[in-house]
């Protein structure tokens, strides 16, 4: 059984990585009841690394295993495989021929991640051959 207190450190969970990260905030129970865990998770929010990419105009594509994920595909229900690809929003819309999600994070299957990695490799090879 974990020890509770009237103060705790606030943590969020990154919807892209699925990892818990410290926000730097301290939580305080207004009634001074021992209701808080030492590390209290208060919700989903992109971690600083992912937020930096989102703020810079990128879409975040997270590789998942749809068969191991629960429906509906929400941050708490997906089975992440570990690979994350960042794509500029304009490029995302050109590649997929649709509007990018406004929240900036998409869960996708392995084939899409591999397609994007191969596309990036071809772009890099083309750049190298022109130098």
Q: Is 53 in a helix, a strand, or coil?
A: helix
62 and 113 together in one domain = yes
Instruction: Identify how many contiguous H helices and E strands the chain contains and give both numbers.
Output: 3, 8
**74 is a domain residue:** yes
Residues 65 and 120 in one domain: yes
Tell whether 72 and 118 lie within a shared domain: yes
Task: End-to-end CA distance of the chain: give it in Å, rounded.
Answer: 62
Output the pLDDT for position 37: 84
Please tell me the predicted confidence (pLDDT) of residue 123.
Answer: 65
Domain of 17, in residue numbers? 4-44
The predicted-structure confidence for 83-130, as pLDDT tens digits, reads as follows 999 999 999 999 999 999 999 999 999 999 999 988 877 666 556 566
Contact (Cβ atoms closer than 8 angstroms) between residue 93 and residue 99: yes
Among residues 14, 18, 24, 23, the alpha carbon closest in space to that of 45 is found at: 14
Going by the DSSP 8-state scheme, the letter that residue 100 receives in this structure is P
What is the tally of structural domains in the chain? 2
The confidence score (pLDDT) of residue 25 equals 93
* Residue 35 and residue 80 in one domain: no
Q: What is the pLDDT of residues 30-84, one digit of tens each?
A: 888 888 888 899 999 999 999 999 999 999 999 999 999 999 999 999 999 999 9
Strands 4-5 and 7-13: unpaired
64 and 32 assigned to the same domain:
no
């Amino acid at each position: 059984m974990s020890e509770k207190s009237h103060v705790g450190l606030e943590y969020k969970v990154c919807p892209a990585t699925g990892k818990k990260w410290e926000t730097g905030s301290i939580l305080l129970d207004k009634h001074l009841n021992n209701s808080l865990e030492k590390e209290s998770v208060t919700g989903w929010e992109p971690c600083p690394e992912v937020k930096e990419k989102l703020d810079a105009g990128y879409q975040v594509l997270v590789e998942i295993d749809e068969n191991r994920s629960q429906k509906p595909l929400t941050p708490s229900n997906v089975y992440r495989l570990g690979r994350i690809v960042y794509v500029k929003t304009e490029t995302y819309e050109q590649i997929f021929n649709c509007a990018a999600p406004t929240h900036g994070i998409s869960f996708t299957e392995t084939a899409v991640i591999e397609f994007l990695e191969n596309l990036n490799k071809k772009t890099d090879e083309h750049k190298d051959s022109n130098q």
